[in-house]
Structure 1
Amino acid sequence: MSSIVLGVSGGVAAYKAAFVLRAFTEAGHDVRVVPTPGALHFVGAATFEALSGNKVTTDVWSDVPEVAHVRIGQAAELVVVAPATADLLARAAAGRADDLLTATLLTASCPVVFVPAMHTEMWLHPATQDNVATLRRRGAVVLPPAVGRLTGPDSGPGRLPEPADIAALAEVVLRLGADALAQDLVGRRVVISAGGTREPLDPVRYLGNRSSGRQGWALARVAAARGAEVVLVAANVEAPSPFGVRVVPVGTAEELRAAMLEEAVGADVVVMSAAVADFRPEAVAATKLKKGSGSEPAAVPLVRNPDVLAELVTKRAPGQLVVGFAAETGDDDGDVLTHARAKLARKGCDLLVVNDVSDGQVFGRPENAVVVLSADGGATDLLEGSKDAVAAGIWGAVAARLGPRPGG
Structure 2
Amino acid sequence: MSTQRRILLIIGGGIAAFKSLDLIRRLRDRGFAVTPVLTPAAEQFVTPLSASALAAEKVYRDLFDLTDEAEMGHIELSRSADLIVVAPATADLMAKMAHGHANDLASTLLLATDTPVLIAPAMNVRMWEHPATRRNLATLLADGVRTIGPDEGPMACGEFGFGRMAEVPDIVAAVETALADGPLAGRHVVVTSGPTHEPIDPVRYIANRSSGAQGTAIAAALVALGARVSFVTGPASVPPPPGVEVVSVETARQMRDAVMAALPADAGVFAAAVADWRVANAADRKMKKDGSGTPPALEFAENPDILAEISSLTEDRPALVVGFAAETDNVVAHATAKRARKGCDWILANDVSEGTGIMGGSENEVTLISDAGAETWPRMGKDAVARQLAQRIAEALA
TM-score relative to the length of structure 1:
0.54
Match of 2:360 among 356, 361, 364: 364
* Kept in 2: contact 1:281–1:300 (CA 8 A): yes
Identity %: 42
* Kept in 1: contact 2:228–2:244 (CA 8 A): yes
Distance (whole Å) between structure 2 residues aligned to residue 298 and residue 241 of structure 1? 36
> How many residue pairs were aligned?
247
Distance (whole Å) between structure 2 residues aligned to residue 292 and residue 147 of structure 1? 48
For residue 240 of structure 2, what is the aligned residue in structure 1? 241
Distance (whole Å) between structure 1 residues aligned to residue 233 and residue 55 of structure 2? 30
Match of 2:379 among 380, 384, 402: 384
Q: In the alignment, is residue 216 of structure 1 matched against residue 215 of structure 2? A: yes
For residue 229 of structure 1, what is the aligned residue in structure 2? 228
Residue by residue over 1:11-70, the C-alpha shift from the partner in whole angstroms, topping out at 9 and shown as x without a partner, is xxxxxxxxxxxxxxxxxxxxxxxxxxxxxxxxxxxxxxxxxxxxxxxxxxxxxxxxxxxx
Distance (whole Å) between structure 2 residues aligned to residue 291 and residue 195 of structure 1? 31
Compared with structure 1, are the counterparts of its residues 226 and 159 closer, same or farther at alpha carbon in structure 2 (3 Å cutoff)? farther
Residue by residue over 1:56-95, the C-alpha shift from the partner in whole angstroms, topping out at 9 and shown as x without a partner, is xxxxxxxxxxxxxxxxxxxxxxxxxxx98339xxxxxxxx
Distance (whole Å) between structure 1 residues aligned to residue 209 and residue 268 of structure 2? 22
Q: In the alignment, is residue 273 of structure 1 matched against residue 271 of structure 2? A: yes
Match of 1:85 among 30, 35, 38: 30
* Kept in 1: contact 2:264–2:317 (CA 8 A): no
Compared with structure 1, are the counterparts of its residues 227 and 84 closer, same or farther at alpha carbon in structure 2 (3 Å cutoff)? farther
Structure 1 residues 313-328: aligned runs within 5 Å: 313-315=311-313, 317=316, 320-328=319-327
Compared with structure 1, are the counterparts of its residues 119 and 301 closer, same or farther at alpha carbon in structure 2 (3 Å cutoff)? farther
Compared with structure 1, are the counterparts of its residues 373 and 288 closer, same or farther at alpha carbon in structure 2 (3 Å cutoff)? same
* Paired letter, 1:241: P
Deviation at 1:357, TM superposition (A): 0.5
TM-score relative to the length of structure 2:
0.55
Structure 1 residues 149-298: aligned runs within 5 Å: 160-161=169-170, 183-263=182-262, 265-293=263-291, 297-298=295-296
Compared with structure 1, are the counterparts of its residues 385 and 200 closer, same or farther at alpha carbon in structure 2 (3 Å cutoff)? same
Residue by residue over 1:94-137, the C-alpha shift from the partner in whole angstroms, topping out at 9 and shown as x without a partner, is xxxxxxxxxxxxxxxxxxxxxxxx9899xx978xxxxxxxxxxx
Deviation at 1:377, TM superposition (A): 3.5
Compared with structure 1, are the counterparts of its residues 296 and 282 closer, same or farther at alpha carbon in structure 2 (3 Å cutoff)? farther
Distance (whole Å) between structure 2 residues aligned to residue 355 and residue 385 of structure 1? 12
Distance (whole Å) between structure 2 residues aligned to residue 297 and residue 248 of structure 1? 36
Deviation at 1:297, TM superposition (A): 4.1
Distance (whole Å) between structure 2 residues aligned to residue 340 and residue 400 of structure 1? 23
- RMSD across aligned positions (CA): 3.7
For residue 347 of structure 1, what is the aligned residue in structure 2? 342
Distance (whole Å) between structure 1 residues aligned to residue 56 and residue 312 of structure 2? 41
Distance (whole Å) between structure 2 residues aligned to residue 336 and residue 388 of structure 1? 22
* Kept in 1: contact 2:247–2:258 (CA 8 A): yes
Compared with structure 1, are the counterparts of its residues 234 and 295 closer, same or farther at alpha carbon in structure 2 (3 Å cutoff)? farther
Distance (whole Å) between structure 2 residues aligned to residue 148 and residue 258 of structure 1? 20
* Kept in 1: contact 2:194–2:213 (CA 8 A): yes
SS at 1:400 equivalent: helix
* Kept in 2: contact 1:194–1:273 (CA 8 A): yes
Q: Structure 1: where are the runs of 5+ without partners?
A: 1-82, 88-117, 127-145, 150-155, 166-180, 404-408
Match of 2:392 among 386, 397, 402: 397
Deviation at 1:212, TM superposition (A): 0.5
SS at 1:230 equivalent: strand
Deviation at 1:216, TM superposition (A): 0.6
* Paired letter, 2:310: L
* Kept in 2: contact 1:289–1:296 (CA 8 A): no
SS at 1:358 equivalent: coil
Distance (whole Å) between structure 2 residues aligned to residue 329 and residue 295 of structure 1? 33
Distance (whole Å) between structure 2 residues aligned to residue 386 and residue 186 of structure 1? 25
